[in-house]
Amino acid sequence: MSFADLGLIPELLNAVADAGYTEPTPIQRQAIPIVIAGHDVMGGAQTGTGKTAGFTLPLLQRLARHANTSTSPARHQTRALILAPTRELAMQVYESVKTYSRHLPLRATCIYGGVDMNAQIQELRRGIEIVIATPGRLLDHVQQKTINLTQVEMLVLDEADRMLDMGFIPDIRRILSLLPANRQSLLFSATFSEEIKKLADQMLKNPQMVEVARRNMVSETITHVVHPVSSGMKRNLLAHLLRHQPDTQALVFVDTKLVCGRLAHFLERHGISADSIHGDKSQQQRTETLEAFKAGKLRVLVATDVAARGLDIDELPYVINFELPHTAEDYVHRIGRTGRAGHKGNAVSLVCAEEKHWLSEIEKLIKLQIPQEVVPGFEPEPEFFEAGKGGRGRRSAADRTDRVEKTEGARERAPRATQPAAGGKRPPRPTIAPDGFDFSKPYEPATPVPVVDTTTSIAARPDEPPRRGQRPVAFLLGGLGRK
DNA sequence: AAAAAAT
């Protein structure tokens, strides 16, 4: 089975060949002929299955039927609209459209927030057939009458479930009301809740179902592992793991924007090139950081769930859950950034006692018992191994205090600097960082990692998180505040 | 539970 067998026109076949693809993926085999035939599609595909090309190629072919000919009623009008939930995702679809449309006289542009509107307006004035957009900025253009959607022939809703989660429903409905009723619509979603079905009912006419096997929710080329660890030692363990895999890149997920930035700083201070990406960063920073990571200029990208879905990073070997996601579905999306297109991938999760509950939810969903490996020197709280304990529901203030003490205890037990032999060379002091990191540990990465002078850089940083001894107070206050 | 998205 080749792309030619799917009925694609030569211009598209050439573009596919230019991009180096030879064989269509299952979702492409299913979707391409259906879309070319003009049907609406309800697609149940995970990302990383070739979904984007699966709708981009036939969409271009439909538009190419009368591309910019003088007889075309919609010459240089917006004829296709693709909506995506995040800016990065929109950009990625745009790249795909650009790649496959290179031999066709069709123009595409990407419309999203966080950047200057004027450049987008100029671009739209040129006459653009294919617009890839996030909903908010698109509506902004609609309001300013800088885009006309009355000639749209094709609509794609990508990652529809995510759009729902993000509260985009009103925006989507609004956009739908602006489009001609006589159009072809494609809806892609990883899950099918009642709400998605409702949306599909309103949006699609006699849709054909396209679905890749449900059981392959999680790529089989991914190796999963859980490292039980106390919450206080997580970042040290992360640095430890990264130092033992010196040549690999890793995408590290955290739950909050605050932790995101701090963790990236922590890794940088420990000589591991890292940066962070989250929604509070400027769009320019987000774009640049992602580019740097994709280009291999950055070893570690610390991210919130802004990067959890759909992002395609070539041959990314490691996804690390620094914090376990609180829904099992998020786990599937996060680790879906690795093990793509048949490559091998590793999904590593650092799990403390409080997170055990989420772990069992995840294992239920992916129908897989994830092996647990305690890394020596980074043992978890004892309660991690106690059946039924850990993380279910809210914790009382007393519990929280207890947890802090346990965490501090774990730090006390962390390996101490070895005493220098009398008369021997003294290592620089202190060798134990305030956060408990032990610099004297005999790390021997295969290739040396650049060493930063952590003793001075830590002392010099005014924006450090609170030192030991202050933290329990904050925890206590938080606990009391709950009542 | 937090994050994402128009300003």
Q: Is the CB of A138 under 7 A from strand B?
A: yes
Amino acid A230 CA to nucleotide B1 C1' distance, rounded Å? 20
Give the per-residue pLDDT at A469. 31
Q: Is the CB of A140 under 7 A from strand B?
A: yes
**DSSP assignments along A86-141, one per residue:** SHHHHHHHHHHHHHHTTTSS--EEEE-SSS-HHHHHHHHHT--SEEEE-HHHHHHH
**Using the 8-state DSSP alphabet, how is residue A372 labeled?**
B
Check residues 104 to 133 of chain A and report those whose beta carbon is under 7 Å from nucleic acid strand B. 112-115, 133
Which is more confident, A301 or A446? A301
Q: Is the CB of A393 under 7 A from strand B?
A: no
User: What per-residue string of b and e applies to A249-269 under the rule 16 or more CB within 10 Å gives b?
Assistant: bbbbbbbebebbbbbbbbbbb
Closest-approach nucleotide to residue A89, Cα vs C1': B4
pLDDT by residue (tens digit) across A320-378? 999 999 888 889 889 988 888 778 899 999 999 999 989 988 998 888 899 999 999 99
* Tokens describing residue A220: 């089989």
Q: Is the CB of A137 under 7 A from strand B?
A: yes
Instruction: Answer left, alpha or beta for residue A196, where phi above 0 means left and psi between -120 and 50 means alpha.
Output: alpha
Q: What is the share, in percent, of chain A residues with pLDDT greater than 90?
A: 57
Give the per-residue pLDDT at A474. 28
Give the per-residue pLDDT at A339. 85
Q: How confident is the model at residue A480 (pLDDT cuts 50, 70, 90)?
A: very low
Longest dimension (CA), chain A: 91
Q: Is the pLDDT of residue A476 over 70?
A: no
Amino acid A280 CA to nucleotide B7 C1' distance, rounded Å? 14
Give the per-residue pLDDT at A182. 94
Residue nearest the C1' of B3 (CA based) = A305
Q: Is the CB of A166 under 7 A from strand B?
A: yes
Residue nearest the C1' of B1 (CA based) = A326
Closest-approach nucleotide to residue A168, Cα vs C1': B5
Name which of A104, A144, A115, A150 is nearest A8 in CA terms. A104
Cα separation, A253 vs A250, in Å, equals 10
Amino acid A233 CA to nucleotide B3 C1' distance, rounded Å? 25
Which is more confident, A70 or A28? A28
Give the per-residue pLDDT at A320. 96
* Domains in chain A: ranges and CATH: 4-213 (3.40.50.300), 218-411+429-482 (3.40.50.300)
Which is more confident, A389 or A6? A6
Closest-approach nucleotide to residue A171, Cα vs C1': B5
Give the per-residue pLDDT at A451. 25
Q: Is the CB of A64 under 7 A from strand B?
A: no
Cα separation, A162 vs A341, in Å, equals 22
Give the per-residue pLDDT at A75. 62
pLDDT by residue (tens digit) across A253-272? 999 999 999 999 999 999 99
Q: How confident is the model at residue A471 (pLDDT cuts 50, 70, 90)?
A: very low
Q: Is the CB of A168 under 7 A from strand B?
A: yes
Cis peptide bond N-terminal to A465, omega within 30 = no
Q: How confident is the model at residue A397 (pLDDT cuts 50, 70, 90)?
A: very low
Amino acid A23 CA to nucleotide B3 C1' distance, rounded Å? 36
Cα separation, A242 vs A240, in Å, equals 6
Q: How confident is the model at residue A59 (pLDDT cuts 50, 70, 90)?
A: very high
Give the per-residue pLDDT at A333. 87
Give the per-residue pLDDT at A49. 75
Check residues 439 to 478 of chain A and report those whose beta carbon is under 7 Å from nucleic acid strand B. none
Amino acid A7 CA to nucleotide B6 C1' distance, rounded Å? 40
Q: Is the CB of A85 under 7 A from strand B?
A: yes
Amino acid A186 CA to nucleotide B3 C1' distance, rounded Å? 26
Give the per-residue pLDDT at A374. 95
- Cross-strand bridge partners of residue A225: A348
Give the per-residue pLDDT at A483. 26
Q: Is the CB of A246 under 7 A from strand B?
A: no
Residue nearest the C1' of B5 (CA based) = A136
Q: Is the CB of A261 under 7 A from strand B?
A: no
- Cross-strand bridge partners of residue A184: A154
Give the per-residue pLDDT at A47. 65
Give the per-residue pLDDT at A194. 85
Give the per-residue pLDDT at A44. 85
Name which of A42, A6, A48 is nearest A23 in CA terms. A6
pLDDT by residue (tens digit) across A164-205? 888 898 999 999 999 999 999 999 988 788 888 889 998 999
Give the per-residue pLDDT at A430. 32
Q: Is the CB of A256 under 7 A from strand B?
A: yes
Please, which positions of strand B sit below 7 A from a protein CB?
A: 1-7
Closest-approach nucleotide to residue A303, Cα vs C1': B3
Which of A3-17, A30-44, A400-414 comes out lowest in average pLDDT?
A400-414
Residue A386: what are its φ and ψ, rounded to 5°? -80, 125
Which of A64-73, A90-99, A435-444, A470-479 comes out lowest in average pLDDT?
A470-479
Q: How confident is the model at residue A217 (pLDDT cuts 50, 70, 90)?
A: low
Residue nearest the C1' of B6 (CA based) = A136
Closest-approach nucleotide to residue A86, Cα vs C1': B4
Check residues 403 to 442 of chain A and report those whose beta carbon is under 7 Å from nucleic acid strand B. none
Q: Are A273 and A340 in contact (CB under 8 A)?
A: no
Q: SS3 sequence, A267-331?
A: HHHCCCCEEEECCCCCHHHHHHHHHHHHCCCCCEEEECHHHCCCCCCCCCCEEEECCCCCCHHHH
Amino acid A393 CA to nucleotide B1 C1' distance, rounded Å? 12
> A257: number of CA atoms within 13 Å, CB side?
6
Q: What is the share, in percent, of chain A residues with pLDDT greater than 70?
A: 76
Q: Look up tokens 């930035």; give the residue.
A: A261
Which is more confident, A445 or A176? A176
Q: Is the CB of A361 under 7 A from strand B?
A: no
What distances in angstroms separate CA A20 from CA A6, A17, A108, A372, one per listed residue? 17, 5, 22, 39
Cα separation, A414 vs A430, in Å, equals 15
Q: Is the CB of A279 under 7 A from strand B?
A: yes
Give the per-residue pLDDT at A172. 94
